[in-house]
Structure 1
């Protein structure tokens, strides 16, 4: 199996892009195949080289290793060769309409409630007419004359599909400036790079028939296709770059765990809940493209953030140790991690609890007399349980009235690990000083 993820460097990757990458990567890894990253930068005006680098960085952050990499702007010679071969036949023809003329043609068809299909005016031009237009300074773009037939294929997500090419416009393969379009470059690359399976969003479904026709015109064998339903946000809008969808860069900045994104997007649309304990290897083993339905799933960024916290609560110390050291928390060891992880929303919060337990803190004193009693009893007690029992008896308190003032004095926080765990992390001497209202 050879699959490809083919983003355009015209914006940052969002969750829809990430899902396509994840599904392709999982399919390749499960089959022992090749995961190809192809940078589709045929849109010269909008493509930005620096965004191609962010795509590499985003995939690396997710843990999706790339086996092969191709950049369309570096493959012009390949496209020239295939274009020349196609031009030797009878399927290409020059077209001379300007963008304004094409827009007017589409509007006329729209006004008549007709599909905006190119009417092949240029295909019917006589040689003398073409010569006249070129003498006037018009440079042709080149279209593929689509076959007069229906295309049948079995989509690996959506099942049997039939698309009538007679209802579609002949696609432009080469622009008037000589550059190649996405349609042509993508098809040539899929054939030339040996892609065996194309898994992408359902917005490319109609394109598939055109691409199959072009592949066969080039003498190639089309790959299998699978089209995933598009992701909707919480408001029911399609997730897209142009509508300001949350990007992977946004989520990384918010402290979302990459494993959480993998788990959520691998399960989205399958009817299975995302499992916060699933490892990357388990996601590979459990992957099944046939499990994806055709309904458009909804996904809110807040759902990913909540799932990310659950993932963090299950991560072992080894998996986060290097990142903690990179945050300057080299002294944070496994017992400390095990004690605090269930109270974290982001890994960065570990630094807060390290500071609370290991660095001077101004306690919040809610009841100084009660806390003074607590400090005296803590100094005399052999265990946390004995201390709390003695404090209950001495104060007559229980529940929140017993614990809340202690937590505020010890941590200056409303919530956190249980008091026994906190005392073990900060030490009895520091705890006694804070209970007495001292910075410690």
Structure 2
């Protein structure tokens, strides 16, 4: 039985984005489900655009998400000797040729194609140079690239996700596989590495379909059996355009800064990428591995639903222990709030936990414990002009010092007794009192809120608005 070997091979030219995460995670699940190996390869042959910061962001992002690789990371920039060996094989087979056309000549050809209203394809001008002409130009020091001789015919393969795929070679020109500086182009280095690393299945975005066409031709030229290919549909924004920064956060770094939990992101990616039966939406990693099958991968584009991700994240936050919530949220908890003491912070977090969708919600949800509320004059006026409310507030102020100990159950008992004497229902005063204490109409339960704010703060905020 074939040993499954899959890979994730990002280019370190930017941050790890949600599309890359989906590709990495599906390959990770594929390996885990089949007791295979998941290889990480960094495709950094684009020296000008590749950065160490981007490499670190990819590695850190995968580790943070729990997407663990078995081998690597391998760096293409360290493998040029291997690519040269395979280039020589193609030279020996007469499947490539040096092209001496200058940028100006290529631009002239491109301009002529544009005038005619046809897609540009390289003319093949250097394909028919004699061996002597090529050797003479190389001897003179003329710059050249290596182009692949695209044969007649076509390529057909069974895509693991999209089914039967067929491409005619006539749509291609003789494409470049090695640049004039000796650096291999993506389609060539990718083929060499996938073969050298024993990759059995290549699962990646459908934007790579045209690359797959070229890569299969290179495999055939090298007399190598290609791996099986599967192409994932695009991830779209709500406007059904390809997901990009204009739709909101798209990189792991951005999601992390907003306070998303890695397990929530992974769970959502799983829902986004698969056609699942039933309405179950929360999956553990082991359940995702059990559920995984390449046949279940969605064949149609998925719409990224930011609110759905927030809901899933909120679910995971609700089930954290308070200690874990404090630990995960430490970067988001204001220092001034922490100064109130660990015990107090834990109590408040327990009360607001159900309202936290992302960890960056915490500063807003605890703000009125450390800062004076901001009120709307019209709302204060409305509260004070209700005689039932204002009379209750005055009575409450006059008796608040008698509540001992100042705890939620004692506070509730006192308020209910007062309201019963006055013939006023709790619902008449609850929201006005909440607003005076917080500047909001949503907070922890009222009596708990009063206890947590403390006697003096409650008195001061009521007095200020009466």
1:370 corresponding residue in structure 2: 392
Which residue, 149, 156, 159 being the options, matches 1:155?
Answer: 159
1:437 corresponding residue in structure 2: 460
- 1:196 Cα deviation (Å)? 1.6
1:138 corresponding residue in structure 2: 142
Query: What CA distance in whole angstroms lies between the structure 2 residues aligned with 1:275 and 1:396?
Result: 48
Q: Deviations over 1:59-112 (max 9, x none)?
A: 122222222211111111221222223322221211122233223323433443
Give the 3 Å change call, closer, same or farther, for CA 351–110 of structure 1 in structure 2.
closer
Query: What CA distance in whole angstroms lies between the structure 1 residues aligned with 2:325 and 2:34?
Result: 29
Does 2:339 match 1:339?
A: no
Deviates more, 1:385-394 or 1:121-130: 385-394
Question: Does the 8 Å CA contact 2:450/2:458 hold for their aligned counterparts?
Answer: no
Which residue, 199, 209, 213 being the options, matches 2:213?
Answer: 209
Query: What CA distance in whole angstroms lies between the structure 2 residues aligned with 1:363 and 1:109?
Result: 65
Query: What CA distance in whole angstroms lies between the structure 2 residues aligned with 1:164 and 1:283?
Result: 38
Question: Does the 8 Å CA contact 1:12/1:241 hold for their aligned counterparts?
Answer: no
Does 2:106 match 1:82?
A: no
Q: Deviations over 1:288-333 (max 9, x none)?
A: 3322333322225455345433442344446535324565765478
Does 2:59 match 1:46?
A: no
Which residue, 8, 11, 15 being the options, matches 1:5?
Answer: 8
2:387 corresponding residue in structure 1: none
Question: Does the 8 Å CA contact 2:409/2:447 hold for their aligned counterparts?
Answer: no
Question: Does the 8 Å CA contact 1:14/1:241 hold for their aligned counterparts?
Answer: no
1:288 corresponding residue in structure 2: 293
Q: CA RMSD in A?
A: 3.5
TM-score (norm 1): 0.85
1:17 corresponding residue in structure 2: 20
Deviates more, 1:414-423 or 1:257-266: 414-423
1:239 corresponding residue in structure 2: 243
Secondary structure of 1:226's counterpart equals: strand
Question: Does the 8 Å CA contact 1:343/1:416 hold for their aligned counterparts?
Answer: no
Q: How does 1:244-259 map to 2 (within 5 A)?
A: 246-259=250-263
- 1:212 Cα deviation (Å)? 1.7
- 1:361 Cα deviation (Å)? 6.7
Question: Does the 8 Å CA contact 1:171/1:183 hold for their aligned counterparts?
Answer: no
Deviates more, 1:285-294 or 1:72-81: 285-294
1:304 corresponding residue in structure 2: 309
Q: How does 1:146-185 map to 2 (within 5 A)?
A: 146-185=150-189
Q: Deviations over 1:207-229 (max 9, x none)?
A: 11221221233343211111111
Which residue, 198, 202, 227 being the options, matches 1:198?
Answer: 202
1:379 corresponding residue in structure 2: 403
Which residue, 10, 27, 31 being the options, matches 2:30?
Answer: 27
Q: Deviations over 1:20-68 (max 9, x none)?
A: 2222222223333222221111112211122111111221222222222
- 1:132 Cα deviation (Å)? 5.3
The number of residues matched between the two structures is 434
Give the 3 Å change call, closer, same or farther, for CA 235–324 of structure 1 in structure 2.
closer
- 1:383 Cα deviation (Å)? 5.2
TM-score (norm 2): 0.80
Query: What CA distance in whole angstroms lies between the structure 2 residues aligned with 1:146 and 1:241?
Result: 37
1:407 corresponding residue in structure 2: 434
Q: Deviations over 1:208-261 (max 9, x none)?
A: 122122123334321111111112223333235799973222222222333332
Question: Which structure has the higher relative contact order (CA within 8 Å, separation 6+)?
Answer: 1
Question: Does the 8 Å CA contact 2:233/2:299 hold for their aligned counterparts?
Answer: yes
Which residue, 181, 192, 196 being the options, matches 1:188?
Answer: 192
Question: Does the 8 Å CA contact 1:10/1:48 hold for their aligned counterparts?
Answer: yes
- 1:165 Cα deviation (Å)? 2.2
1:419 corresponding residue in structure 2: 446
Q: Which runs of 5+ in 2 are unaligned?
A: 385-389
Deviates more, 1:72-81 or 1:240-249: 240-249
2:271 corresponding residue in structure 1: 267
- 1:180 Cα deviation (Å)? 1.1
